[in-house]
Structure formats: structure tokens, C-alpha cells
């Protein structure tokens, strides 16, 4: 069976790298946004020519528009006869609200996870923000749910770029990535603690370890407002670090995030291509292709 990878024009670069790594033919749909923000989507094939097996590539940064897009695409494609519909969403949105922190809050992880499970036979993503559950399958309760990690590739890049780096996780949740990366490249690591008081208001406490004169690399899953990284960087430099670089899987960098971390003194920012951003230094295509292969053979 010939297999196809369908993407939006704005993600054709990363999708193209995946298509090449996975041996898929790349197709693009057209996307028009009307002045009132409604979407018109146009597929590159007529209904009668829809493939039986299709991989859709859509990273879910800017999620509110893109989720509507996924609903329109998946519902239409099923109606046109696609039997196996797989989603590669390198960044998976709405995973952070996994419990009601306060009465009345809607647990969006469950709802968005359930929606994707209804629409797709499989979802592949990278470092989803799951902190109170162990498996992506708990958030996406039907079909295959595969979570890859960008940390090993970021670790290899850090080893290439820095001599004797010291890895730092900016909060307790980041321990999983710094610990793995430090073991992989044989270096030390420490983990900060963080209290968040608001979207852009975080207080970071450094771990008890000597940083004077060291090349530090802050590692995290996602940079959103950038305040977590900025807060950690500021303190590390104030305590004598020689330099602070940043390695993140998901370069959301919303609003003034990038300038906030640059003002704090961050030297280099490296990210994976899960979200297209000028800081992208790692392609996740080989790992995504590896994860897709057994699903495409089903």
C-alpha cells in the first residue's frame, strides 16, 4: 500500500523531513482563513481518490485554530474513505491542565485527549507534558498513543557544543530530562525548585551545587512565557556561572519570551523542530519515522 503524509503549507519543512525519513509521499492541503477567522481547507485529492492509509502532520502549538482544523480534516477524510488515519503532532497542546487545581476548572487534557482518540487511530507526539500520569495512553484512551522524547537528541547536541557542561533542570518536573541527558553524555546535573504564582511570575530556588565558572545548560520540555528559564538563568549567572545556554524540546516562545530569556543572559538557545522556530537545531524526523514504521505496516 502506498502511504502519504498530509501537512499544512506552514509545516511543510518539518513534514517534508519526516516524509523523507519515513519513505512517505508528501501532500499539502490548502488553508484559507476568512476575515471572521473561519477556515476553508482544500485537500490535494478528490474524495474518490482519498488514500486508504494517511498520516496527518500537525504540531499543536497555536492549538485553538489547529484543533478545529484537525476536526474538519479527520471527519472529512473518514467520510472520504480513509481507513487508517494517523496523527503526528510533535507538540501536543492542552496536556498541562490534567487535574482541576481549583474547583470548577475544566480538565482539558482529558477532553482534548478523548477528542484525538475519537478522530485518529494513532497519535505520535514528543515529550507531552504529562506529570501526574505515566502513559500517554491514559490521556488518549483509544488506539495507539506514542510519546517520544527529544532529550537524548538534545543531550547529544549539548555534548557536541559544550565541554564539560553542567546540566540544570529549572523545576522538579524537568528532572526526568536532565537526569536522562546527564547519564547519556556523562556529566553532572542539578534540579531547581519552582513555585509559579502566575503566567509570568515564577520563583526559582537553585539546587545546592557549585556553579562558579561552569558552562551551564538549562534543559526543559517547553519554553512558553520563558519566565522559568529566565528566572533560573538570572540566578545561575548571579551565583557565578560562566555561561548559561538553553536546550528545550518545544520552542513555543510566546510573546516576549525570547527577549525575556536573552535579557536574563541566556547565551544560546537550542530546540528540536517539534515547533518551527529559529532556534531549531535538532530534527525529530528520524525518531518519528521509526515510531511510524510499525503502525504503517499494520
Ligand X SMILES: O=P(O)(O)OC[C@H]1O[C@@H](O)[C@H](O)[C@@H]1O
Nearer to ligand X, 171 or 245 (CB): 171
**Binding region for ligand X (CB under 6 A):** 96, 129, 170-171, 173, 202, 220-228
The CB-of-269 to ligand X minimum distance in angstroms stands at 12
**Residue 296 near residue 3 (C-beta atoms within 8 A):** yes
The CB-of-223 to ligand X minimum distance in angstroms stands at 5
The CB-of-2 to ligand X minimum distance in angstroms stands at 39
The CB-of-20 to ligand X minimum distance in angstroms stands at 31
For residue 126, CA distances in Å to 88, 106, 249, 262 come to: 9, 24, 8, 26
Q: Which residues of 143-172 are buried (b: 16+ CB within 10 A; e: fewer)?
A: bbbbbbbbbbbbbebbeeebeebbbbbbbe
Q: How many CB atoms lie within 10 A of CB 98?
A: 19
Half-sphere exposure of 295 (CA within 13 A, CB side): 25
User: Residues with Cβ < 8 Å from 168, sequence gap 6 or more?
Assistant: 178, 189, 190, 191, 192, 207, 216, 217, 218, 219, 232, 236
Closest alpha carbon to 223 in 262, 191, 183: 262
The CB-of-119 to ligand X minimum distance in angstroms stands at 25
Amino acid at each position: 500500500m502506498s502511504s502519504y503524509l498530509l501537512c499544512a503549507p506552514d509545516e511543510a519543512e518539518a513534514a517534508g523531513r519526516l516524509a523523507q525519513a519515513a519513505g512517505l509521499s508528501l501532500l499539502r492541503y490548502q488553508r484559507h482563513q476568512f476575515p471572521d477567522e473561519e477556515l476553508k481547507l482544500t485537500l490535494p485529492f478528490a474524495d474518490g481518490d482519498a488514500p486508504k492509509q494517511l498520516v496527518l502532520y500537525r504540531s499543536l502549538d497555536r492549538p485553538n485554530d489547529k484543533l478545529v482544523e484537525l476536526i474538519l480534516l479527520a471527519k472529512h477524510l473518514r467520510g472520504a474513505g480513509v481507513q487508517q488515519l494517523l496523527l503526528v503532532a510533535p507538540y501536543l497542546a492542552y496536556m498541562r491542565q490534567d487535574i482541576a487545581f481549583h474547583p470548577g476548572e475544566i480538565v482539558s487534557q482529558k477532553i482534548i485527549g478523548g477528542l484525538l482518540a475519537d478522530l485518529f487511530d494513532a497519535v505520535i507526539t514528543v515529550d507531552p507534558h504529562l506529570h501526574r500520569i505515566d502513559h500517554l495512553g491514559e490521556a488518549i484512551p483509544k488506539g495507539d498513543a506514542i510519546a517520544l522524547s527529544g532529550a537524548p537528541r538534545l543531550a547529544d547536541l549539548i555534548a557536541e557544543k559544550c565541554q564539560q557542561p553542567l546540566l540544570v533542570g529549572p523545576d522538579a518536573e524537568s528532572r526526568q530530562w536532565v537526569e536522562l541527558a546527564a547519564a547519556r553524555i556523562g556529566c553532572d546535573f542539578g534540579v531547581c525548585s519552582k513555585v509559579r504564582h502566575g503566567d509570568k511570575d515564577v520563583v526559582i530556588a537553585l539546587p545546592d551545587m557549585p556553579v562558579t565558572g561552569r558552562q551551564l545548560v538549562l534543559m526543559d520540555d517547553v519554553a512558553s512565557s520563558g519566565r522559568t528559564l529566565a528566572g533560573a538563568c538570572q540566578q545561575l549567572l548571579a551565583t557565578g556561572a560562566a555561561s548559561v545556554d538553553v536546550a528545550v524540546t518545544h520552542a513555543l516562545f510566546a510573546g516576549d519570551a525570547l527577549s525575556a530569556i536573552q535579557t536574563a543572559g541566556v547565551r544560546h538557545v537550542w530546540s528540536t523542530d517539534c515547533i518551527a522556530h529559529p532556534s531549531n537545531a535538532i530534527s525529530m524526523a528520524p525518531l518519528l519515522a521509526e515510531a511510524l514504521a510499525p503502525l504503517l505496516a499494520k
